[in-house]
Structure 1
Amino acid sequence: MKIIRDRLTRLGSDHKRIARGAMRVAFFLLLGKFVGAFKEMAVAYRYGISDVVDAYQFTLTMAGWLPVTAIGVLSVVLIPVLVKLKRQSQQTRERFLQELFGVTLAVGALLAVGLYFAWPWVLEWVGADLTANTRAMSQELMLAFAPVALLTLVAGVSSARLRAHERHINTLLDSIPALLILVWVMLAATAADVGPLLWGTLVGYMIQSAWLLWLASHADNVGVKPRLGFQSPYWPQLVAAAGIMLVGQVAMSIVGPLDQYTAAELGRNANATLGYANRILALLLGLGAVSVGRAALPVLSDIHSRGDAAQGRRMALKWSVLMLGMGMAAALMGWLLAPWGVSLLFERGAFTEQDTMRVAGVFRWGLLQMPFYFGVLVLVQLLASQNRYRIMAVIALGNFALKALLNPILGSAMGLQGVMLATACMYALSYGCYVLAALKSVANEAPSGPAQ
């Protein structure tokens, strides 16, 4: 009976840890998304649906692909390692974290230089359907987005270090680039070029990465001192896991550029329209699923390290069903309020009523992904906490294959609405696969002993 009482107490405590973490993340996300929404209002007011927004959206997506992919991998495989590292000696933690910082700086610098010099070829191959003016502005924006690649890696690693301690202030600091863009756009005398977007982006990421690095150093009690090398015994585990995850993450990260490529083929300003719709979707997805997902991984990793994997699976499945229902309700509400919401956020200045209807039509079809996205994110954290990266990579490859197949078919038949429908189908497949993986794991697992 004592064991049962202990397990029930711990079960409630772990649920509360996820709930408290999710509430903190949601609060920070809400504040950050408000800043992001004001930034989008300012951009819509200044630029409307224009070549400037096309250039910014294209460059943001394509230039951010590699660094965002790398951070996507690290955020999954690094947090379980950092959770284990908290139980080690100060010297062991210092060596790994300082080497991690050194490798991050080296890889980020190489990536920044490579992106800048490769960009003319990217514009020639991927952006061939963009106007000459849009391509010229995209090349100019690389003065900011090349160094942002390095800054993104530094910020992403620092965020993972904070999340391993169940500190979620990084979620609020994600809004700093948006805040600086808002300030620069509103203070600009004219909106004829990309200068305000360029400088707002660069300065915003510089402040964000420096602030996160300072907070992470205090959370780990490890100073900001990079060290090159792979002497820490934690590198083999991290590299092996990252190698497997990289395969799936690269496939999934191509989805954004694939949508941009498809949109570019659908006519002028299609990228801008898709970008506005995706920004509203990001607000809803972030407040719901991302808040729970970010809070769940360190808790599930801690439960798994205690040796009570069955409890973690039960918790994740319950949260997944709850999030699926919340996603359905949010999608229905969003569908009904789509024109009003787009009008409230964007319809002013250069953004017209006709633009509102175009964006609202695309946004409504994007809402179809929400239930599956909400439901799958907790299960992703479950499998990550168990180091089941191989099956995660296989699912990601299947998702990308379906998306790559449906994008040209549905895009040609339905336009941007078809691109959104393809994304919904991809997440439906992902949710089904993750549920099967989780259920199979529960069915095959013997009862666990007491937590270590």
Structure 2
Amino acid sequence: MLFSKSKRFNSLFKRLGGTTLTNIVTVGLLTLFVKGLGFGKEILIAENFGLSELLDTFYIAILVPSLIYNIFLGSFKSVFIPNYVSTLKLNSLIAGRFQSTSFLVTIGVAILFFILAFLFTDVYLEVFFKGHTEHYYSLVKKQFYYVAPCILFWGFSSIINGLLTIDNEFRYSSLSSAFTPLTIIVCLLFFKEELDDLVLAIGTLVGSILGFLFVGSVAIRRRLIQLHKPDFASSNIITLFKQLPAKLSASILVGINPFVDQYFSAQLAIGSIAALNYGEKIPAFAIGIVGIAVGNVMLPYFSKQAVEDITNTFNKLQSMLKQLIVFSLIITVILFIFSSSIISLFFERNAFTSSDTVIVSKIQQMYLLQIPFYITGVIMVKFLTSINKNNFMVLTSVISLVMNICLNYILIEHLGVYGLALATSIVSLINSVILYLYIYQLKKQHV
């Protein structure tokens, strides 16, 4: 049996190529390091501020910039990579124009959102966070003026990170996100008194600037940045703009699902929201690392392969999915069996009792069931993005959202809080099946 597993691993290794698998492992380890650093930052923030007004206002101040980054800039990077790979096949002049146009779009988006946020901050606070003091609103706006410029530096870093991943340089792009938690830690340890109530906001801004300078210097050293006169009429830029609304829509729809789960869990007994969050932490942490590692590497990989030979790329994808299903199922079974021990090890102390462990471990088991479908789903989404088929992902996102609402409503009646976790896994399964069937139809068209 071990020999059989070894053969499967070697088969997957050969199909992906040694360099690609090495990149996935590298990104996974570096992501683990960055997330660990972020966790340390959260511990230090909790130690310094607890559940304070300053912390509340900081999270409100950074909410809109973070949303813009996660939805718009993340989507822009995803459609930037495959279209830039296609542009590279032409010549350096056209590639330089493509880069310049992309940077100008990022600058325009950053300025636009900054102006809108500046003009409508008071309205935004009064509508969504009404009932607070003038001092509270003053703290939000004071910190917002420091974190808002981060949008620009995050945007530049996002595009440059895309250039680095296309060039198979994943180490530096993965490390760039470590600067913000690191600068916040430094500010809290050494400059808290001097920076006072701006310590978190300034730490975030300095981190975003250092992250940009870091990846920028790497890209310049590797001669990846080639700026020429922008061209908004080029075919690849037009394709990018056509794909962007679909990618944005899909990102927004996917982002709504956690809010749906929170809404349904709020209808249950007190403690259900907390139990759901505890049960989700370890599965989300695990699949988050795998998703980032696999997603960041496979998008440029598929983009390059598709330009060379689209039919062969379909075959590689299908083979990879079969292998990953087997390996992810093994991981799922192991974690499922030891779920109670894992929860007990990480959480069972002080107010978190053994009876809490029983509840949370069962919730965790329901969430763990999604691992094979989540991982394969990530790969299929990256594949579709690489061949500019983002429109279909809007449909799958709508179906997932509707199915999540329906399954939550049905399963909560029979299984309570466990049903909400199970619904998430079932939706992940349905989404993966739909994506696979669509890709299978695309493959038949190219054969």
TM-score by length of 2: 0.78
Q: Deviations over 1:214-262 (max 9, x none)?
A: 3334445435x68665154421121112233233223223445666778
Alignment of 1:150-165 (within 5 A): 150-165=152-167
**Unpaired segments ≥5 residues, structure 1:** 1-8, 447-452
Tell me the CA shift for residue 70 of structure 1.
1.4
| 8 Å contact from structure 1 (residues 50, 272) kept in 2 | no
Match of 1:222 in 2: 225
Match of 2:6 in 1: none
Match of 1:392 in 2: 393
2:340 matched to 1:338?
A: no
C-alpha distance 105-440 of structure 1, shift in aligned 2 (>3 A):
same
C-alpha distance 214-116 of structure 1, shift in aligned 2 (>3 A):
farther
Tell me the CA shift for residue 378 of structure 1.
0.8
Matched residues in 2 for 1:202 and 1:180: separation?
9
C-alpha distance 75-40 of structure 1, shift in aligned 2 (>3 A):
same
User: Could you tell me which amino acid in structure 1 is paired with residue 174 of structure 2?
Assistant: T
Q: Which deviates further from its counterpart, 253-262 or 117-126?
A: 253-262
| 8 Å contact from structure 2 (residues 276, 360) kept in 1 | no
Alignment of 1:121-136 (within 5 A): 121-127=123-129
Match of 2:8 in 1: none
User: Could you tell me which amino acid in structure 2 is paired with residue 384 of structure 1?
Assistant: T
Match of 2:321 in 1: 320
C-alpha distance 327-177 of structure 1, shift in aligned 2 (>3 A):
farther
Match of 2:83 in 1: 81
Match of 2:255 in 1: 253
User: Could you tell me which amino acid in structure 1 is paired with residue 183 of structure 2?
Assistant: L
Matched residues in 2 for 1:419 and 1:136: separation?
38
Tell me the CA shift for residue 370 of structure 1.
3.3
Match of 1:185 in 2: 188
Matched residues in 2 for 1:61 and 1:256: separation?
16
Matched residues in 1 for 2:108 and 2:284: separation?
31
Tell me the CA shift for residue 34 of structure 1.
2.3
Alignment of 1:352-363 (within 5 A): 353-354=351-352, 361=360
Tell me the CA shift for residue 22 of structure 1.
0.6
User: Could you tell me which amino acid in structure 2 is paired with residue 376 of structure 1?
Assistant: G
Q: Which deviates further from its counterpart, 214-223 or 73-82?
A: 214-223
Alignment of 1:212-291 (within 5 A): 212-223=215-226, 230-255=232-257, 283-291=285-293
Q: CA RMSD in A?
A: 4.3
User: Could you tell me which amino acid in structure 2 is paired with residue 338 of structure 1?
Assistant: I
Q: Deviations over 1:331-372 (max 9, x none)?
A: 5256641342347xxx8xxxx6449969x9398365454333
C-alpha distance 405-203 of structure 1, shift in aligned 2 (>3 A):
farther
- Percent identity, aligned pairs only? 19
Tell me the CA shift for residue 135 of structure 1.
6.8
Tell me the CA shift for residue 10 of structure 1.
13
Matched residues in 2 for 1:315 and 1:366: separation?
29
Matched residues in 1 for 2:276 and 2:312: separation?
41
Tell me the CA shift for residue 412 of structure 1.
10
Match of 1:6 in 2: none
Matched residues in 2 for 1:230 and 1:175: separation?
34
Match of 2:373 in 1: 372
Tell me the CA shift for residue 264 of structure 1.
8.9
| 8 Å contact from structure 2 (residues 58, 140) kept in 1 | yes
Alignment of 1:191-202 (within 5 A): 195-202=198-205
**Unpaired segments ≥5 residues, structure 2:** 1-10
C-alpha distance 254-215 of structure 1, shift in aligned 2 (>3 A):
farther
Match of 1:429 in 2: 430
Matched residues in 2 for 1:322 and 1:79: separation?
26
| 8 Å contact from structure 1 (residues 112, 150) kept in 2 | no
Match of 1:210 in 2: 213
Q: Deviations over 1:288-307 (max 9, x none)?
A: 23212211111211111112
1:65 is matched with which residue: 67, 88, 99? 67
Task: Please state whether the residue corresponding to 1:154 is helix, strand or coil.
Answer: helix
| 8 Å contact from structure 2 (residues 412, 420) kept in 1 | yes
C-alpha distance 256-65 of structure 1, shift in aligned 2 (>3 A):
farther
Match of 1:439 in 2: 440
Tell me the CA shift for residue 268 of structure 1.
11
User: Could you tell me which amino acid in structure 2 is paired with residue 20 of structure 1?
Assistant: T
Q: Which deviates further from its counterpart, 34-43 or 56-65?
A: 56-65
| 8 Å contact from structure 1 (residues 407, 419) kept in 2 | yes
User: Could you tell me which amino acid in structure 2 is paired with residue 361 of structure 1?
Assistant: V
2:35 matched to 1:33?
A: yes
C-alpha distance 174-412 of structure 1, shift in aligned 2 (>3 A):
farther
Aligned positions, number:
428
| 8 Å contact from structure 2 (residues 96, 228) kept in 1 | no
Alignment of 1:286-305 (within 5 A): 286-305=288-307
Tell me the CA shift for residue 93 of structure 1.
1.6
Tell me the CA shift for residue 20 of structure 1.
2.1
Matched residues in 2 for 1:270 and 1:282: separation?
18
Q: Which deviates further from its counterpart, 380-389 or 39-48?
A: 39-48
Q: Which deviates further from its counterpart, 121-130 or 368-377?
A: 121-130
Task: Please state whether the residue corresponding to 1:387 is helix, strand or coil.
Answer: coil
C-alpha distance 301-127 of structure 1, shift in aligned 2 (>3 A):
same
TM-score by length of 1: 0.77
Q: Which deviates further from its counterpart, 330-339 or 309-318?
A: 330-339
